[in-house]
């Protein structure tokens, strides 16, 4: 994939008179990005959805960016090679930053298997708080869950570059929050994360 990167002579960013702080003040909340990473079938989407419901019920303005949903639109031109995975995370990170600039609490569900990409996401977040949530589950348990049947297809060779089978997952060494979904209930995990966001 060859994407143009030199825009130095043609692009001149516009500075708005209404800034991120102004939008956050209007919404009455501290915006930020919560990045859920983990193996396929770890429980990322289930947890993020529960967190969004709780935030919504608490009167907070949020938006959930789920990896599969993003790949049907913004990233529909990307596959699952390492190069395309890097670009997928970069795009999601940039959109997340824009949403946080709008004052929202942005919940991102993305396998994002590479540590360098997650580091980039944190950098792109800029001044916004960035909470990396490692939704952990042993690989064998994730494969047993397999709600979409993808592990089975990967084992059969029907799909390639599947994280946890023939593509690596680099576990976060120092995530802001680590949830083991074999030990912690969705309700308890949701309470932990939403309390962090609402009272921070």
- Catalytic residue numbers, as ranges: 112
Do strands 105-109 and 177-180 pair parallel, antiparallel, or not at all (unpaired)?
Answer: unpaired
CA distance 117 to 123: 10
C-beta of residue 65 within 8 angstroms of C-beta of residue 78: no
Query: What phi and psi, each to the nearest 5 degrees, are found at residue 123?
Result: -65, -45
CA distance 186 to 164: 23
Burial of 180 (0-12, 13-18, 19+ CB in 10 A): middle
CA distance 3 to 179: 36
CA 143 to chain CA centroid, Å, is 21
């Amino acid at each position: 994939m060859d994407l143009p990167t030199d825009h130095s002579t043609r692009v001149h960013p516009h500075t708005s008179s209404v800034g991120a702080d102004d939008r956050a003040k209007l919404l009455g909340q501290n915006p930020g990005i919560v990045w859920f990473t983990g193996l396929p079938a770890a429980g990322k989407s289930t947890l993020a959805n529960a967190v969004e419901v709780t935030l919504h019920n608490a009167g907070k303005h949020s938006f959930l960016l789920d990896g599969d949903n993003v790949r049907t639109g913004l990233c529909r031109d990307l596959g699952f090679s390492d190069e395309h995975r890097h670009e997928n995370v970069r795009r999601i990170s940039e959109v997340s930053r824009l949403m946080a600039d709008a004052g929202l609490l942005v919940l991102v569900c993305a396998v994002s298997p590479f540590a360098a990409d997650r580091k980039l996401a944190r950098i792109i977040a800029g001044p916004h708080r960035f909470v990396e949530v490692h939704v952990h589950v042993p690989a064998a348990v994730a494969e047993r869950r397999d709600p979409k049947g993808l592990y089975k297809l990967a084992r059969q060779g029907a799909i390639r570059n599947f994280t946890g089978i023939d593509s690596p997952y680099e576990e976060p060494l120092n995530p802001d929050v680590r949830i083991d979904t074999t030990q912690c209930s969705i309700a308890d995990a949701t309470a932990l994360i939403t309390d962090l966001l609402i009272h921070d």
